[in-house]
Structure 1
Amino acid sequence: MRVMVLVKATKDSEAGIMPPTELLEAMGKYNEELVKAGILLSGEGLKPSSQGKRVAFEGPSRTVMDGPFAETRELVAGFWLWQVKDMAEALEWVKRCPNPMPGSSEIEIRPVFEMADFAAAFAPES
């Protein structure tokens, strides 16, 4: 199964404050472990929401909003895309992760839809 592992933003990450060198090195080693285990498919850090945009959809209408966006705890500062055998394996890997931010932080794990999840919607009716 594939999972998206989301590193939640903090006030520091939204302010564009880079993590200390020690944390960057620890995360680099962790990423190497993920690669060696054959789990890491992709992963990146994201710039602060002040450099982003949102597009709101209402029928045919589109409204563009410039960052920054208010609810820091609901923003994402980075992500990994992993291939794991199940959620338990993903959870074990996240528990091994260095704290991704100075101070308090959160990581969220979400399963990615696979084509098989849509099979019933595309099955011919009997």
Structure 2
Amino acid sequence: MPRYLTMIRIDEKTSPEGGPSPEMGERMGELLEEITKAGVMLDTAGLTPSAQTTQVHWKGGQVSVTDGPFTEAKEVVGGYSITQCKDKAEAIEWASRFLKTHDEHWTVTAEVREIIEG
């Protein structure tokens, strides 16, 4: 069965400093429990804010390292999941359900990509 990486992109400017509301956290927890019991979830986690990010860049035969925050970033990856689904449609359905757990003032995008095996 194919595996999918879902990257959750957030606009840090519209997400509350305190993180998700307790109600949102409860909705997320219920969905994560459901997807885990369904045998679909392989791994998931949230990520630290972009201010704590370090970018390692390769250009012209040189490596450069830059610490965040990065002012040009409109959206950042705020979390991820790795799922094993029967097809991409199922992976998209789970991602859509995850986005619906968010409170209305959040701006969130899920990027679903199949993991190339081998």
TM-score (norm 1): 0.80
Fraction of identical pairs, as percent: 35
Structure 1 residues 1-126: aligned runs within 5 Å: 1-10=2-11, 11-13=13-15, 16-69=17-70, 70-73=72-75, 75-97=76-98, 98-100=100-102, 102-103=104-105, 104-115=107-118
In terms of fraction of residues, the more strand-rich structure is 2
Larger radius of gyration: 1
RMSD: 1.8
Q: Which has the higher contact order (CA 8 A, sep 6+)?
A: 2
C-alpha contact (below 8 Å) 1:4/1:112 kept by paired residues: yes
More displaced stretch, 33-42 vs 57-66: 57-66
TM-score of the pair, normalised by structure 2 = 0.85
Q: Which residues of structure 2 form unaligned runs of 5+? A: none
Higher helix share: 1
Which stretches in structure 1 are left out of the alignment for 5+ residues?
116-126
Compared CA separation, residues 17 and 68, structure 1 to 2 (3 A)? farther
